[in-house]
Amino acid sequence: MNARKKSLRTLNFTVGEDTYCLHPEAKLSNILDQISGRQAQLTAMLDVLTEESGAALRSLSFDTRSRFMWACQSIAQEVSCLVAHVALIVEDEDDQTEGVTT
């Protein structure tokens, strides 16, 4: 697998690099579904911060709040990484269809 194809499949949103990668047969629609699901989860988590001025979150211990915020950050980074991959995939598909006439 060439370096560009590997970069299209490797996800580096975790503490350790090269921990996750997209399945070789993952379609753009699969990635978009993952983005949508993770955005919904992050939205639900962030709703805790705004409900009654974040009282629920403030009632948790410092360590739990820190882990909660770390989880939010991790999901946001995953979404950002997946969106970047979508852009690379679309660019790659555009490059492959350049010059092709129908």
What is the structure's pLDDT at 9? 65
Nearest residue to 79 via CA among 17, 15, 19, 33 = 33
Sites in the chain below the pLDDT cut of 70: 1-10, 12-18, 99-102
The pTM for the full model equals: 0.75
Q: Which two tokens stand for residue 66?
A: 């820190």
Domains in the chain: boundaries: 29-95
What is the structure's pLDDT at 2? 54
What is the structure's pLDDT at 1? 45
Q: What is the 3-state secondary structure (H, E, C) of the chain?
A: CCHHHHHHHEECCCCCCCCEECCCCCCHHHHHHHHHHHHHHHHHHHHHHHHHHHHHHHCCCHHHHHHHHHHHHHHHHHHHHHHHHHHHHHHHHHHHHCCCCC
What is the structure's pLDDT at 58? 84
